[in-house]
Structure 1
Amino acid sequence: MVLSLVSLCAREVVRDHSSSPCWLRWVPMELYRPLLEASFTGCRPLAVGELVQRWPERTLRVARRRKQGQTGPNRLCIQALLLAVVRGLSDQRCSLKVLDLCGLQGDEGGMGDPMGGWSLTVALCTMVVQARAGAQRAQRERKRISALEREKDVKRERGQWEGGRETHCNQASTDNNELGGNDQNRMGSCGILGEEELIQGVRRRMEVERKRDAAMTALGGSQKVTEAKDVSSDVLVHVRADLFVNARSWERVRGALTTLGPLKLQCRYLRVEEISVSSIRTLLGLLPRQGFLGIDVRYSSLGVAGLAELLPLLSAFPALNSLRLHYCNLDFRRDHPGQEEALRDLSQGLTQLQELSRLSLTALRLPGQLRVLLSSLPKPLEILELPYLSLSPADLAYLSCSHHASTLQQLDLSENRLDENTLTSIRRLLSQASSSLQHLSLSGCGLTDGLLGLLLPSLGGCRALKSLALALNPLSVAGLMDLVRMAVRMPSLRQLLYPNPLEDYQPGLPDLPSSAQLLDWPLDEASDINITSSQLKRVLLESGRSDLFLTCDLLNYDKDLVD
């Protein structure tokens, strides 16, 4: 990556924090963004805080750059950014109105200590609550100072009135003595005159506040309610982010979403883990209707009834385009009464999701039911992920002829067993999606050399394919070489996740091992695994495909790095 002259200079400028008072006051607003990027890249949290606290633009987007070898922003830098946003609320130099942190989450404990999704969510909620508390303290201080000033004004006017009354009364006494008037009447008239002047002076200063307090009292508001309404009268900064909620962070997230203050938290994508249907329903009720794009539910015992209950709630979000359900205890293979009715409810709920373009269903055990679910969607899907779904030949046959086939950009059929009975449907599906499909995963599908050989022409015809995952399939070295020779002839392909060949495993594997056996079986240390890698690299060199990345590392494979 070639850095521009501005980026190189920005890195040098933020390197020495002691010099920041010299240059920060003179830097033009056009250079704030490259300076902030350099601060993130060089892990300079103090510089991040100073730049954000006086951010000159209305919008600040801090997105995670997902490129090969790059990690998300450092945890300390993100914490410094959040603290600076709170400080910037009272800084006249700060123009920030929208803070966009969508897509910022990294992996917990990854390289470079990035801030994971759960940690970032908790930090954001803490920032919202702290900003409200700070605004309340500032408001109470303003009220205290205002009360002191009113008291001083009252004392000052009273002192002026008393001094004036004494002078006036002395003069009046002299005059009345000369005229022979009554002393008691004279003193009474002086007192009445001074009291009217005092009331007029105080009333002018307190009239506005008395009206406001009277209105709040008429509404039945207590002092705390009055303060809350005063603090929340204006939202100074809207904070957009992807939220990750589980049982430990549930209460904190709910508190932040219901907090009225200078910071308003908004959610783009919501990921929930191990929380009940009622808690998910409560969260959805707190989210703004606009701008919410998707929900990811994991390891929650929704059941068929729970999912049927949530789908109508999701239809209230007009822009929702992503629904992901992973390990949510849905099983239509069980013979329970009411299953057909529940399936109809699910189908009806999916019908209402007008903008849905991504559907991910993991380990939900829906054999033979794919037509009922997918045919109800009003819009063709672009992303369809169906791993561990026990798909039947009828499911794959429907998918290959459905209205989704020609629009699919990403397809995941991992861990669904493929054989001769399903091969025709898979080839038809790949033919229908040949011009749109960019990411394909057939890992753990039981593809042997023979089955893969029959499938290679259809794979090679996918002109837009960028990544292909075929891990945990029982291929030999010969089958693997055929796969790579086909891959180098696909100009759009950038990543290939290939399986370790059977020859690299220790003896004892069955003739047709499952994906679980291939995952757990140890590799043979006596065999030189580097020989296979060298053979594959030789094919790349001979074809001139230096832009194609080959890997057998299943755990660190990331298809999104090619986008």
Structure 2
Amino acid sequence: MVTLLYPLANQLTPLSWSRVVLQKPDITMVFSLVDLCAKEVVSDHSSSPCWLGSVPRELYGPLLEAAFTYCRPLAIGELVQRWPERALAVGRKRRPGQNPPNRLCVQALLLAVVRGLADKRCALQLLDLCGLQCEDECVEDSMGGWSLTVALCSMVLQATVAAQKGVRKEGERERKRSLETERTRDSAIKRDRGSGGRGIEVEKGSEEELEGKGLKVDRLRDLRVEEGGEVVMGVRRRMEMQKRSGSVDLNRESGDLDPEPVLLHVCADLFVNARSWERMRGALTSQGPLRLHCRYLRVEELPAPSIAALLSLLPEQGLRGLDIRYSSLAVSGLALLLPLLAPFSHLRALKLHYCNLDLHRALPGQEGALKDMSQGLGGLKGLRHLSLTALRLPGHLRLLLSSLSQPLEVLELPYLSLTPADLSYLSCSPHASSLQRLDLSENRLDESSLPSLRRLLSQATLSLAQLSLCGCGLSDGLLATLLPSLSCCRALQSLRLALNPLSLTGLLSLVRTAAGIPSLRLLLYPNPLEEYEAGLPPMPSSAQLLDWPLAEEGEIREAVLFQLEELLRQSGRSSDLFLTSDLLNFTKDLLEVE
């Protein structure tokens, strides 16, 4: 199999592969042939000494991908330890249906990175692990964001310790070489004296005379005059001069070692909570050969001062998103943190979920803190994604969003207790025409707020790709008023309307409208009221719909599914429009907005 890989690599480089596929589609089988050969090569670890030393660098990528796909951690370790390229990206994008890397494979990768620092064959300088974590609990033996973050911090600290040990060993070897050189020179001078050679002889009786002239014997002993008459300094004298000039002394204790030069930059998405906070701080403050960079930072259950300290340790370049969850920040904590985000010029996404912020009650100093929050948001010049979940900010949306210098592309405001005045401002704001994703779930909608929502949809008709109105109390009558505006959203790809009190008649109207939107790919619809067991209130809330059991008889459910399928068939959308009422396990949205 190895012999098959070599001619492929020599004849078809990664760039020429794309040309071949574009010009001659009938030979796209080259890709599958390379994959099959790579699978066979990495499956037999006993043969690795035969091909590792001579495999072309163009084949390291397919071999590493095969090792991850078929869970070959030993092959991963050997390939990464001698990686021939300056950059390596793992986890950015996976093929459709491809599972995330196995935990053992990720651990083998991180161990190989540390070993590669001492391997002259390794050219790796940038390791991109963004997107490597797996948050799907159904995938077995995968590594979640918290576990991956802890492993990365351990890798950084391990590399620092290894580098310090290497410096101490090198210092000890240098000291021994210096002592040996000095002994050799002393022996040579003694031989020269014994054979009548020229040199400076310091006799016992002349030391006092020399000291009287202002010369120290120690300094004189550190001078050696060779046969050519050149004066050179001894080892002790050189070490004294290095110490005075601030040069590195290799014999110092590990705690006093100068910072190591950065050999490898590691970029990843990090997940920090109270249990991993100390380890994260140690990794970010370590002065070793690995430098940790963060693309997206997720923080849970940390107080505002700890989050502020963490932000001060992160490199300002590269942070694109911050997600703070379940932290008791309140208005004062957010007013403290938001100004600290201004130096992160690449920050595009800010998510605040369940941060104990409730403005239903008026408190002393609340308005001033809100203004500080608004100014802090205004300092985020690159912000495009803002998510505020359960912050309870009724009537304050204008104050928060009007300070932003650039229009938002993603706005998520679930459980925010929005008022008609908030929706009215949003429909007329600069953000309306640029929104690609909008989430207003669990905000009660009524006749007074629907005009503003319709105006908002008309403004976003060319940009809006994802819309979520789950649990907004949309009845058949309210939905009928909203459907014409929805049908005009020609870019809409995902529409979520679960937990709204619709009857079967209202649901059928919704599906007809959805089928008439050519771009729509996903509809998360609510179970009609006819499917629930008896006793449900006429206008139930979203919480009641979520908790109320569905009827055990499957006839009603089957009848509803049959009518929905018939509507899709008649409209010609059976193959490209996915309908589901499963709130927890529906197909993931098709559009990804960073």
Instruction: Quote the offset at 1:366 in angstroms.
Output: 0.7
Aligned-partner SS, 1:34: helix
2:245 to 207, 212, 215: 215
2:370 to 320, 326, 343: 343
1:117 to 141, 145, 169: 145
Partners of 1:26 and 1:533 in 2: CA distance: 59
Counterpart residue number, 1:13: 41
Evaluate the alpha carbon distance shift between residue 168 and residue 54 of structure 1 in structure 2; reply closer, same or farther with a 3 A threshold: same
TM-score normalised by the chain length of structure 1: 0.89
Is 1:136 aligned with 2:169? no
Partners of 2:459 and 2:576 in 1: CA distance: 27
Is 1:355 aligned with 2:385? no
2:84 to 15, 36, 56: 56
TM-score normalised by the chain length of structure 2: 0.85
The aligned runs of 1:356-375 (5 Å cut-off) are 356-375=383-402
Counterpart residue number, 1:325: 352
Partners of 2:399 and 2:386 in 1: CA distance: 14
Is 1:287 aligned with 2:314? yes
Aligned-partner SS, 1:8: helix
Aligned-partner SS, 1:295: strand
Aligned-partner SS, 1:440: strand
Evaluate the alpha carbon distance shift between residue 531 and residue 361 of structure 1 in structure 2; reply closer, same or farther with a 3 A threshold: same
Instruction: Quote the offset at 1:448 in angstroms.
Output: 1.7
The aligned runs of 1:11-410 (5 Å cut-off) are 11-65=39-93, 69-107=97-135, 109-168=137-196, 196=224, 203=233, 209-216=239-246, 223-227=253-257, 229=258, 232-410=259-437
Evaluate the alpha carbon distance shift between residue 21 and residue 244 of structure 1 in structure 2; reply closer, same or farther with a 3 A threshold: same
Evaluate the alpha carbon distance shift between residue 198 and residue 141 of structure 1 in structure 2; reply closer, same or farther with a 3 A threshold: farther
Evaluate the alpha carbon distance shift between residue 211 and residue 57 of structure 1 in structure 2; reply closer, same or farther with a 3 A threshold: farther
Counterpart residue number, 2:494: 467
Aligned-partner SS, 2:71: coil
Counterpart residue number, 1:510: 537
Instruction: Quote the offset at 1:426 in angstroms.
Output: 1.2
Evaluate the alpha carbon distance shift between residue 385 and residue 156 of structure 1 in structure 2; reply closer, same or farther with a 3 A threshold: same
Deviates more, 1:45-54 or 1:7-16: 7-16
Partners of 1:213 and 1:553 in 2: CA distance: 71
Aligned-partner SS, 2:323: strand
What is the letter of the counterpart of residue 555 of structure 1?
L
Contact 2:511 2:564 in 1 (8 A): yes
Deviates more, 1:31-40 or 1:208-217: 208-217
Evaluate the alpha carbon distance shift between residue 39 and residue 208 of structure 1 in structure 2; reply closer, same or farther with a 3 A threshold: farther
What is the letter of the counterpart of residue 212 of structure 1?
Q
Partners of 2:119 and 2:562 in 1: CA distance: 60
Partners of 1:429 and 1:196 in 2: CA distance: 88
1:548 to 573, 577, 589: 577
Provide Cα deviations, 1:268-325, integer angstroms capped at 9, x if missing partner: 2211111111101101111122222221111111111111111111112222221111
What is the letter of the counterpart of residue 257 of structure 1?
L
Partners of 1:501 and 1:245 in 2: CA distance: 41
Contact 2:222 2:236 in 1 (8 A): no
Partners of 2:589 and 2:124 in 1: CA distance: 31
Counterpart residue number, 1:189: none
Instruction: Quote the offset at 1:39 in angstroms.
Output: 1.6
Aligned-partner SS, 2:582: coil
Provide Cα deviations, 1:243-270, integer angstroms capped at 9, x if missing partner: 1111001111111111111000111221
Identity of aligned residues (%): 60
Aligned-partner SS, 1:48: helix
CA RMSD of superposed structures (Å): 2.8
* Structure 1 stretches lacking a partner, 5+ long: 170-183, 186-191
Aligned-partner SS, 2:309: helix
Evaluate the alpha carbon distance shift between residue 402 and residue 198 of structure 1 in structure 2; reply closer, same or farther with a 3 A threshold: same
Aligned-partner SS, 2:34: helix
Matched length: 540
Contact 1:360 1:386 in 2 (8 A): yes
What is the letter of the counterpart of residue 246 of structure 2?
M
Instruction: Quote the offset at 1:163 in angstroms.
Output: 4.5
The aligned runs of 1:475-486 (5 Å cut-off) are 475-486=502-513
